[in-house]
Chain A
Amino acid sequence: MNRRDLDALLATAPAGIHATQIEEALTVSGNKPTAHEWRGFGVRVLLFAGVAALAAALIFFIAANWQSLRLLGRFALVQILLLIAIGVAWWCAPHPAEFRSADAADAGRRHHLFTAAMAFAVLATGALFALFGQTYQTGADIYELFFIWAALTLPFALAAMSGAVWAIWVVILNVGMALFCGWGESGAMRWTLRIHFGVQAPVLLMLPVVLNLAGAWFAHRTHENTTLHAQFRRAAPEWLQRGLLTIAFLYATNACLMVMPKRYSGDFRWGGDVGDVSAVIVFFIYFIACALTWWITHRARRDVYPLALVIASAIVISTAFIVQFLLYRMNIGNFFLTGVWLIGASTAAGFFLMRRLREWRTAPQGDAS
Chain B
Amino acid sequence: MSEVNARVRELLALPAASVDSDDAIIQLPWYLSLILGVSAWVAGLCLLVFVAFTFKPDTAPAMFVCSVILLGAAFALYHVGRDGAFFSQLALAFSIAGQLLFVVGLVISLERHGRGDANIGAIALATFVLQVCLVFLMPSALHRTLSAFFACCVWAMTIRFGLFGEPRPFSYRPDALPVSLDSALLAWALTWLPVAGLLFVLIRREAQWMAKSWQPIVRPAMNGMLIGLAFATLVSQPFQLFDWRGTHAGNIGWLALWPLLSAFAAVCALTVGFALRSRAMMSLAIFGALLHVSHFYYVLGNSLLMKSLFMAVMGVAMLLAAYFLNAQDRAEGRQ
Contacts and interface: CB of A to CB of B under 8 A. Distances in A.
Helix, strand, loop or mixed for chain A's interface?
Answer: helix
Given A9-B14, A47-B322, A308-B35, A346 B8 contact: no
Interface in A41-67: 41-43, 45-47, 49-61, 63-65
Nearest to B87: A347
B206 A1 contact: no
Contacts of A183: none
Contact of B215 (A7, A32, A60): A7
A365 to B, nearest CB: 13
A56 to B, nearest CB: 5
B173 interface: no
A36 B31 CA distance: 31
Given A343-B86, A345-B39, A60 B308 contact: yes
B311 A57 contact: yes
A188 interface: no
A41 B210 contact: no
Interface string A284-301: 000000000000000000
Most chain A CB within a 10 A radius of its CB, from B7, B24, B54, B207: B207
Contacts of A42: 322, 325
Given A46-B322, A308-B35, A28 B7 contact: yes
Contact of B328 (A3, A26, A39, A351): A39
A342 interface: yes
A338 interface: yes
Nearest to A56: B311
B89 interface: yes
A59 B274 CA distance: 29
B312 A54 contact: yes
B315 A109 contact: no
A140 interface: no
Contacts of B85: 347, 350-351
Contact of A346 (B40, B307, B312, B321): B40
Contacts of B8: 1, 6, 9, 25, 28-29
Determine the interface band of chain A, counting residues with CB < 8 A from chain B.
35 or more
Interface string B291-318: 0010011000001110111111011111
B308 A57 contact: yes
A43 B315 contact: no
B170 to A, nearest CB: 22
Contacts of B322: 42-43, 46-47, 50
B46 interface: yes
B307 A60 contact: yes
B35 A46 contact: no
Interface in A313-369: 315, 319, 332-333, 335-336, 338-340, 342-347, 349-351, 353-354, 357-358, 361-362
Interface stretch (A11-19, A174-182, A201-209, A212-220): A11-19
A64 B21 CA distance: 60
A304 interface: yes
Contacts of B312: 53-54, 57, 61
B270 A45 contact: yes
Interface string B65-96: 00000000000000000000110011001000
B277 A357 contact: no
A201 B325 CA distance: 51
A55 B29 CA distance: 34
9 smallest A-B Cβ distances: which pairs?
A53-B315, A64-B304, A50-B318, A339-B46, A54-B315, A346-B39, A57-B311, A46-B322, A60-B308
